[in-house]
A = this chain, B = another copy of it.
Amino acid sequence: MSSSALFADLYEFAMLRAYFELGMNAQATFSLFVRELPPQRNFLIAAGLDDLLHEIEHWRFEPHHIDYLGSLKISSRPFLDWLANFRFSGDIYAMREGAPFFENEPILEVIAPIAEAQLIETLVLNQIGLQTILASKAARVVAAARGASVVDFGARRAQGMDAATKGARAFYIAGVESTSNVAAGQAYGLPVAGTMAHSFVEACASEMDAFRSFSEVFPDTTLLVDTYDTLEGVKKVVALAKARGPNFNIRAVRLDSGDLDMLSRQTRRILDDAGLTDVQIVASGGLEETKIDALTSRGAPIDVFGVGTDMAASSDAPNIDIAYKLTEYAGKGRMKLSAGKRSLPGRKQVFREFRDGVAARDVIAREGETLPGVPLLQPFMLSGRRVAEQSCDLPRIREYAKEQLAALPPHLRMLQSREARYDVAISDALASYERETRAQLID
């Protein structure tokens, strides 16, 4: 990933130089967690690990990176020579992508010589943060669709190309069917979808002409019917069906503006009255989970939701309070005491207890403890190499997410803000380790 080897805050390089000069190269543990869930989220979904591991495994400083770093006053020749040979040699334990998680739970732990674990901080936060935010948002949209398909239309409204393309992956993990983003289709093998825009209709001599000619090129396409007048547009599709007879193969019509509840019902009636019961209805235009929920709960006859803007940037919760903190160095627990910023010392494990197949509570424990429940942190990288058995096959991740979401208590899966919270406990051993570490620091 030569293009992103410099994707780090300057202070990481400054600290690396200091560690280098001071001979600080003992093993460190850094822990990645979210301090507080956004008020609009009852849980988050871990995502982004596969892309992150790929970048860490291939992190190399090319000569042009070294030259640039050499131009900054934090550098020295011996330090640059050390960087030129940089390889990540550590271990990474993480929750599987698709796992729902909660406040203060470590979702990823890095155990490596301190400089290595430090250098990757900015990338870890940015990349796991990105896909986690977007998968967590998409899970709500998919839930609101109540079984109707959701298609990602967000590429144009995502915050940059990286967000658009990795977002499409995160959305797919959370249950979205397909994406309009061709780059994401290529990068991740995602199903891609999309047919026509208003510009095509407008460029043709008439709407009827547009429908006729587009469907000659693509007989089983979706026709966009709201360029001028939605219901008139639907009637033109019916006219096309009459003209084409058995050769009519249009799969769907798309409504992109107006009162989608009313228009979808009227459209359904016009289509059904003409015998076009197989023609589906796609709705799009400013949709997000609350609007979709309103439509599906009232039974609007919409088969597919195209969702862009609001999902693309998780607009109601575009950030999470994600932190990557030193928790152990040279065998000793570490933590800060800054106001309102708790971090749990040492290596950890998270156990999820289930009752009758439903997640009942999580316990954050010290690494090495054996407690009831399923341990969520698993090794994904050892000595700088990915663990082969840990599949990052995307359909399997998506299936895992689906199972894990289905196993959450129903009240957590509702869109409304939480009344009852999910119980996350801290093991006795971890609690006393936290007290010991704190006591040593205050001494």
The residue in chain B whose Cβ has the minimal distance to the Cβ of A186 is B68
Interface residues of A in 5-54 (CB under 8 A from B): 6-15, 17-19, 21-22, 24, 28, 30
Interface residues of A in 418-435 (CB under 8 A from B): none
Range class of the A interface residue count: 35 or more
CB distance from A377 to the nearest CB of B (A): 20
Known: A21-B217, A194-B14, A319-B157. A181 touches B228 (CB 8 A): no
**CA A319 to CA B316, docked complex, whole Å:** 10
Interface 1/0s, chain A 209-246, versus B by CB < 8 A?
Answer: 00001101110010000111110000000000000000
Q: In the complex the two chains form, is B9's CB within 8 Å of A155's CB?
A: yes
CB distance from A179 to the nearest CB of B (A): 8
Interface residues of A in 103-128 (CB under 8 A from B): 114, 118, 121-123, 125-127
A346 within 8 Å of B (CB atoms)? no
The residue in chain B whose Cβ has the minimal distance to the Cβ of A258 is B339
Copies, count = 2
Q: In the complex the two chains form, is B9's CB within 8 Å of A180's CB?
A: yes
Known: A158-B159, A198-B336. A22 touches B257 (CB 8 A): no
The residue in chain B whose Cβ has the minimal distance to the Cβ of A5 is B183
Chain B residues whose CB sits within 8 angstroms of the CB of A155 once the complex forms: 7-9, 122, 126
Q: In the complex the two chains form, is A256's CB within 8 Å of B338's CB?
A: yes
**CA A204 to CA B28, docked complex, whole Å:** 12
Interface 1/0s, chain A 317-348, versus B by CB < 8 A?
Answer: 01101101110011000111111110000000
Interface 1/0s, chain A 167-198, versus B by CB < 8 A?
Answer: 10000000000001111011000001111111
Known: A156-B126, A313-B159, A340-B257. A15 touches B183 (CB 8 A): no
**CA A221 to CA B11, docked complex, whole Å:** 11
Q: In the complex the two chains form, is B194's CB within 8 Å of A10's CB?
A: yes
Partner of A309, one of B319, B324, B325: B319
A65 within 8 Å of B (CB atoms)? yes
A153 within 8 Å of B (CB atoms)? yes
Chain B residues whose CB sits within 8 angstroms of the CB of A441 once the complex forms: 228
CB distance from A66 to the nearest CB of B (A): 11
Q: In the complex the two chains form, is B157's CB within 8 Å of A160's CB?
A: no
Chain B residues whose CB sits within 8 angstroms of the CB of A324 once the complex forms: 156
Interface residues of A in 281-316 (CB under 8 A from B): 309-310, 312-315
**CA A340 to CA B258, docked complex, whole Å:** 8
Q: In the complex the two chains form, is B10's CB within 8 Å of A158's CB?
A: no
Q: In the complex the two chains form, is B14's CB within 8 Å of A195's CB?
A: yes
Q: In the complex the two chains form, is B218's CB within 8 Å of A14's CB?
A: yes
A439 within 8 Å of B (CB atoms)? no
A99 within 8 Å of B (CB atoms)? no
Q: In the complex the two chains form, is B156's CB within 8 Å of A217's CB?
A: no
Can you name 12 A-B residue pairings with CB atoms under 8 Å? A6-B182, A8-B183, A9-B194, A15-B196, A15-B197, A22-B213, A122-B181, A126-B161, A162-B162, A202-B335, A203-B334, A309-B321
**A residues apposed to B, CB below 8 Å:** 4, 6-15, 17-19, 21-22, 24, 28, 30, 65, 68-69, 72, 74, 114, 118, 121-123, 125-127, 129-130, 133-134, 153, 155-167, 180-183, 185-186, 192-204, 213-214, 216-218, 221, 226-230, 256-258, 309-310, 312-315, 318-319, 321-322, 324-326, 329-330, 334-341, 441-442
Given contacts A118-B197, A156-B322, 15 further A-B contacts (CB under 8 A): A7-B181, A10-B193, A22-B217, A65-B186, A68-B182, A122-B156, A126-B158, A129-B157, A162-B162, A203-B330, A227-B336, A256-B338, A257-B339, A312-B319, A313-B319
